A and B are shown apart, each in its own frame.
Chain A
Amino acid sequence: MSALIGVMLRELGSFFRTPVGWLACAIFAFLSALFVAPQSLVPGEPATLRAFFGVGHWLLLFVAPALSMRLIAEERRSGTNETLMTSPASDWAVVFGKYLAACCFLLVMLLPTLAFPLALEYASDPDYGPILSGYLGLVLTGFLYLSMGLLFSALTSSQVIAFLGTLLFFVALAFVSSQGAQYAPEPLDGVLRALSIDARLADFARGVIDTRHIVFFVSMSLWITSLAVVPLEWRRWR
């Protein structure tokens, strides 16, 4: 546990000590504000953050891989994985420490967007149910993106490949789970729809907290993060 906390704190500190972290925060806040402002505060329309949650997960699709691409690939590139692998820390502690750090940073990155509900509160009387569930959906999606980014980062020493691999995986998943499901025979179409992140997020944005969605995001994130241990173990014992 001590090693996991050590890795997590070091990684979290590294997000704030390097420009990548601050840049990701700034870009996410700026772009989400750019999309949200004209669509959330329309006179005569209900005050909601649906526009933000609609665009937020697409922004995360770019920002989360940018955060996760360096998690393990950078250690390998700089050679610091050598001192990490010769310490008594287990590969599980290393992987989950890094994953938790990225998740914590994602939460920090979402903090400035709390200005949006505050602005809605100032301008009207928003319904907080969909806002809270929408944030939950966004956070869970971000955690899922980060886990896949971590897996790609463990598979390659190139940060660019880790970034593009994660991005392309989720773009392909979005395409397959929507377009592919339309043409797939039964029961494959049902399986493909179940993999859809968009559909689950739409429920969260409407204020529906379905435990199946939560189980999907949490279990997928943990499973993919656990998979990231395999390349590390492989390198240690091959």
Chain B
Amino acid sequence: MTDLPASPLVALLVGVPIAFALVSLFFRTEGRARTGLLGSLGTTALAFPAILEVARKGTVIHLLGGWAPPLGILLRLDPLAAVFIGMTALVGGVISLYAWWYFRKEATAGGTSALFWPLWLFLWAGLNGLFLSNDLFNLFVTIEVVGICAVALAVLSGKAASLIAGLRYLLAAIAGSMGYLFGVALLYGSTGTLDITLLGAALTPGPATTFALIVMTLGLMIKTACFPLHFWLPPAHAAALPPVSALLSALVVKGTFYILLRLWTEVFGVSLTFAAGQLIGVAGAVAVLWGSWQALMQDRLKLIVAHSSVAQLGYLLMVFPLIVLAPGVAAESANWLSPAWTAAVYQVMAHGFAKASFFLSAGIIVIALGHDRKSSLRDLVARLPMTAMAIAVAGVSLIGLPPSGGFFAKWMLLKGIFMSEQWWWAPAVLGGSFLTAGYVFMILRLAFAPAEAGQPVRPVPKALQVCALVLAIGSFLIVLPADHIIQFLESTAPFATGVETYPEGGRHGND
């Protein structure tokens, strides 16, 4: 790993947003927003040369402090990390533009909304650092950075509901981090290294490894809001300010999913069993059905959207049973690995774009009508045509209708399911789509229904509506370069790698 080409761009992806955040702290409201927006756009712009570098040279690395692992920390920018960083850059960039107009409009004098910018840039640096890190302890530090900033952003509105939800979020996040850290300590004790690549080669099966696998997976599942550990997500995401809800749902929860994916494929190969993959798949399938059903039952738009996140994250978990192969199946012969990984990457991107758009639209409706109860959706098509359009387009992607990114993700997931002959997952995928269609069509039906008389509509800046629509359309446009993206990803592991398992008593046998 250390003989790969080095690139300073890798370190800049973390350093630049932090530098802007620190400078922004010295300014008051107006100057801070300007520095913050500049930093956000700079961080977005930085992602492009970084991705080009990977496209040209393949995986690039950065040895921090000039020390090679196991003593030092290695940052590695491979195609998978590049795609996550690119998605964060695009979605984060548009959310930043929205936030700029949103906070100008709000201009809450004396409030803490000016804290949005430094916190968001710190969070962004944390996410980039997380995608780049190849070191288990450093990953813990990055999830701490992301976690503390995410909680702080979630309570920014200052309302009692957001504080209560924020406290719950904080406790869940700390519990998750502690579980993860416990596992890291066990792994370091067993192997004497924290580097993911070295660890994957040195780890031997045994009770300590199995226990580390369990506590780290549970810890990360809490932070990713996986069923049944999702309790903190709907209130926290629904009570936050609109740009914050968007970035929490679209970006933050994807970070810990990414670690989970890396750990399962690159570290824990020796300890995984087919049953473990099936178990996590069940959690995903239940999340898809339960989350969508709950979304259908809500009567506030932001709660519908937040519960829908629980469901959409469930699809991501359903990739694990496909990646963890049945005993005796060789990774070379498993031709469903590529569709399964494509489904994971596309679900992350499609949900990122569509969900961010949905939350931004919900924010626009709250500005226009003062609340987000179902009645606020009435006659949306005439009142806020552009927002109605954004909701319809993003909703189609969430359901998974062609030719959206959501369709591509779910189609690939079904393809993987049938190719691996694990047909029992198919009903959950389809059922989830039907339930999602249920709440999206319910929203659209209201959007065409006549409004109750005497409800004034406050003007909403056009720029806000454009941001939401751009993200919604983005969830369709990501399908166009699909061939290139898959080719780019397929050039390196872990994309399209599977975890081979052994029957009990073979290489795996505990004790």
A, B in one complex = no
